[in-house]
Chain A
Amino acid sequence: MSRLKTGITEFDEMLHGGFLEGDAVMVAGAAGSGKTTLALQYLVNGATKFGQNGIYVTFEQMPDQIYRDAESFGWDLKRLEQEGKFQLICTSPDLLVNKNGAEELLGDPIRELNPKRMVIDSVSHLQMFVPEGDVRREVYRLVMFLKTKGISSMLLWENPQMLGSSYSITDVGLSFMVDAIVALRAVEIESSMRRALGILKMRGSDHDKHLREYEITPHGIRVDQPFSQYEGLMSGSPRKVAGEKFVDMFRSVSEKKKSAVG
């Protein structure tokens, strides 16, 4: 099976080598969780390390911020555009859901660039322009259009929940339409905000089931160790696993005894 590496070493390990070629991947997370950073890193690494061109489609009102934000991570998108390895397309979501919209909007860039990767930022915007019941149909049409062209897609989904006890990826039932789901989630542990990344689904492939901590560094996303000492992260009520609690208690008693002796 051919795989598309993200270029983030630890993340690729979690994916057992990368996303499967041609798959549609959903990256879900709240505002500020790093969805755009992860998506840009996936495209930039694809273009610069793996010889796979990429297109970033954004529905944001001020997409020039994407160039600026990318630059802050050391990614020169304009240079990649000049080299014909990358293209940023900004448009309105209603055009994409127009009759033949995907072909008419994306057909020329696809022919020019021959991309292997495409990011749609974000499919949540489609909700503003199509009735709720039609979002699934439009996303399905888009996913199938890209699969037909041999393009692996990464669909970003803005999840309104940053923290909380319930966690659903989308409330319009998109989860079964995509081949893989990556969740980015803020978690509160001992009064500090940390970030957790998990692969919730990967059709046709095994993958790491652990939730791992990640950070947004000056060089992009860095995936760290699993949260092995905690459970209940996704439910919004993280607590130390029993073994870790015992170790903490033992350590605390031991330190008290030492200070009493001292």
Chain B
Amino acid sequence: MVDQTKENILQRLLSSDVKADLLVLFHKNPGLIDTMEGIARRIGRVTSAVEAEIRDLVAMGLLKVKFIGAAQVYALDKVRDKHVLDEAANHIKSIQ
């Protein structure tokens, strides 16, 4: 039987090209701390194209938010990221 929660996580992770690019960016650069605008620039996009996807990654707990002065910045939550990816990998194995 398919675990609906894990299935949802997997679907959210794979829901768009932009999200995939963001995940690759943060996994290749786990020490990245930047604003939404800075992150968008790093994957060759504009802020409006990444805004919703970054917010979803924050909602999933993969990215954490903090403030530097007035600037809102995003960084990979390494512990939560490992947990979510482990769950996704286990789920894929279970449905194979």
Minimum CB–CB distance for B45 against chain A, Å: 13
Which residues A84-142 have CB closer than 8 A to chain B? 87-92, 94-95, 98-101, 104-105
Cα separation A104 to B72 with both chains bound (whole Å): 11
Q: A92-B35, A95-B34 are in contact. Are A105 and B29 (CB under 8 A)?
A: no
- What total of chain B residues lie within 8 Å of the partner, measured CB to CB? 18
- Which label, helix, strand, loop or mixed, suits the secondary structure of the A interface? mixed
Q: Which residues of B contact A90 (CB under 8 A)?
A: 29, 31-34
B12 contacts the other chain (CB 8 A): no
Q: Which residues of A contact B30 (CB under 8 A)?
A: 81, 88
A171 contacts the other chain (CB 8 A): no
Decide: A104 and B69 in contact? CB cutoff 8 A: yes
Give the nearest-CB partner of A105 in chain B.
Answer: B68
B41 contacts the other chain (CB 8 A): yes
Q: Which residues of A contact B69 (CB under 8 A)?
A: 95, 98-101, 104
Decide: B66 and A63 in contact? CB cutoff 8 A: no
Minimum CB–CB distance for A105 against chain B, Å: 6
Q: Which residues of B contact A87 (CB under 8 A)?
A: 31
Q: Which residues of B contact A100 (CB under 8 A)?
A: 68-69
Minimum CB–CB distance for A100 against chain B, Å: 6
Minimum CB–CB distance for B32 against chain A, Å: 5
Cα separation A87 to B41 with both chains bound (whole Å): 23
Q: A95-B68, A99-B69 are in contact. Are A63 and B33 (CB under 8 A)?
A: no
A64 contacts the other chain (CB 8 A): yes
Cα separation A61 to B93 with both chains bound (whole Å): 35
Q: A63-B32, A91-B33 are in contact. Are A104 and B42 (CB under 8 A)?
A: no
Cα separation A89 to B67 with both chains bound (whole Å): 16
Decide: A98 and B42 in contact? CB cutoff 8 A: no
Q: Which residues of A contact B38 (CB under 8 A)?
A: 91-92, 95
Q: A61-B41, A64-B28, A95-B73 are in contact. Are A89 and B33 (CB under 8 A)?
A: yes
Closest 5 CB pairs of A and B: A98-B69, A64-B28, A104-B68, A92-B38, A88-B31
